Amino acid sequence: MSQQAISWSGVFPAVTTQFRSDYSLDLDATHAVMKNLVQDGVSGLVVCGSVGENTSLTTEEKVQIIEVAKDAAGGKVPVIAGVAEFTTAFASKMAREAQRVGVDGVMVMPALVYSSKPHETAAHFRSVAQSVDLPIMVYNNPPIYKNDVTPEILATLADCDNIVCFKDSSGDTRRFTDLRNAVGDRFVLFAGLDDVVVESVAMGAQGWISGMSNAFPREGETLFRLAKEQRFEEAMALYRWFMPLLHLDARPDLVQCIKLCEALLGRGSEITRPPRLALEGDDRRHVEQIVQQALDNRPALPDVGL
Going by the annotation, the residues of the binding site for pyruvate are 209
What 3 state SS string does 127-160 have?
HHHHCCCCCEEEEECHHHHCCCCCHHHHHCCCCC
Distance CA(46)–CA(244), nearest Å, equals 23
- Catalogue the long-range contacts made by 233-238 (C-beta closer than 8 Å, 24 or more residues apart): 234/302, 235/198, 236/198, 237/299, 238/299, 238/301, 238/302
228 belongs to the catalytic site: no
Beta bridge partners of 188: 165
User: What's the chain's Rg over C-alpha atoms?
Assistant: 18
**What's the N-to-C CA distance of the chain in angstroms?**
30
SS3 label, residue 242: helix
Q: Indicate which residue of 62, 70, 167, 259 is catalytic.
A: 167
Q: Indicate which residue of 139, 145, 228, 239 is catalytic.
A: 139
- Per the annotation, where are the binding residues? 209
239 belongs to the catalytic site: no
- C-beta of residue 235 within 8 angstroms of C-beta of residue 209: no
SS3 label, residue 240: helix
Distance CA(149)–CA(110), nearest Å, equals 8
**Helices of type H across the chain:** 27-39, 59-73, 88-101, 118-130, 142-145, 151-155, 174-183, 197-202, 217-228, 232-246, 254-264, 281-296
For residue 174, which amino acid is it?
Answer: R
Distance CA(196)–CA(255), nearest Å, equals 18
Nearest 10 degrees: Cα torsion 187, 192, 194, 195 = -70
Enumerate the active-site residues.
139, 167
